[in-house]
């Protein structure tokens, strides 16, 4: 019986320490922030890792030229802000852009980092990802890097902002 009490006491002690650590982390300052147009800093925190799986499936569909999967993963009112200043609005416009790109080049995405983030007060979460893209332009393979900020709402891609570094 004494062993039972000892085991119970140890279990309570271990879980109480774990909970204290969680409370400490919940009250810690956010590891990041987003600055609004008026200069207000909004805390940004770690988000659901399931967003990374959504993003990986989305990029895999691009590499496979699977427009049906891409369409099903796009939010109806998707907005793509491209690296060259274009704003692609809506699922159909996005699919048409991809279809043209797939026909003209041979883009292949290779993600080299990905992080899921939530900004306090936003209804959705972000995936920030870095990708090396190999494409064919005028018969020549070119390689460039994109960093994307992708906003996911209800499991669908709502917005993608693309930043590019060309070599």
Looking only at the bridges linking them, the beta strands covering 74-81 and 156-166 are parallel
CB 44 within 8 A of CB 116: no
* This prediction's pTM: 0.80
- Point out which residues pair with 94 in neighbouring strands: none
Domain-by-domain residue ranges, the chain? Answer: 2-30, 46-166
CB 114 within 8 A of CB 127: yes
At the topology level, CATH places domain 46-166 in Nuclear Transport Factor 2; Chain: A, (3.10.450)
CB 45 within 8 A of CB 30: yes
DSSP annotation of 47 reads -
34, pLDDT greater than 80: yes
Closest CA to 150 of 67, 25, 47, 37: 47
Rounded to whole angstroms, the Cα distance separating 27 from 117 reads: 17
Q: Express each pLDDT in 63-78 by its tens digit.
A: 999 999 999 999 999 9
Which range, of 18-27, 46-55, 111-120, averages the lowest pLDDT?
Answer: 18-27
Q: Express each pLDDT in 101-122 by its tens digit.
A: 999 999 999 999 999 999 999 9
129 CB-contact burial (10 Å; exposed 0-12 / middle 13-18 / buried 19+): buried
Rounded to whole angstroms, the Cα distance separating 48 from 45 reads: 10
């Amino acid at each position: 019986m004494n062993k039972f009490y000892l085991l119970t006491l140890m279990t309570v002690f271990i879980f109480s320490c774990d909970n204290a650590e969680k409370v400490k982390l919940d009250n810690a300052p956010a590891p990041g922030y987003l600055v609004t147009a008026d200069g207000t800093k909004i805390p940004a925190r770690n988000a659901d890792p399931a967003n990374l799986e959504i993003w990986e499936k989305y990029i895999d569909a691009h590499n496979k030229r699977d427009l049906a999967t891409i369409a099903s993963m796009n939010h109806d009112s998707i907005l793509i802000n491209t690296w060259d200043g274009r704003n692609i609005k809506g699922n159909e416009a996005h699919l048409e852009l991809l279809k043209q790109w797939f026909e003209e080049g041979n883009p292949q995405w290779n993600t080299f980092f990905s992080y899921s983030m939530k900004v306090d007060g936003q209804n959705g979460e972000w995936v920030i990802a870095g990708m090396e893209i190999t494409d064919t332009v005028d018969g020549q393979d070119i390689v460039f890097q994109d960093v994307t900020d992708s906003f996911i709402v209800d499991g669908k891609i709502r917005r993608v902002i693309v930043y590019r570094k060309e070599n």
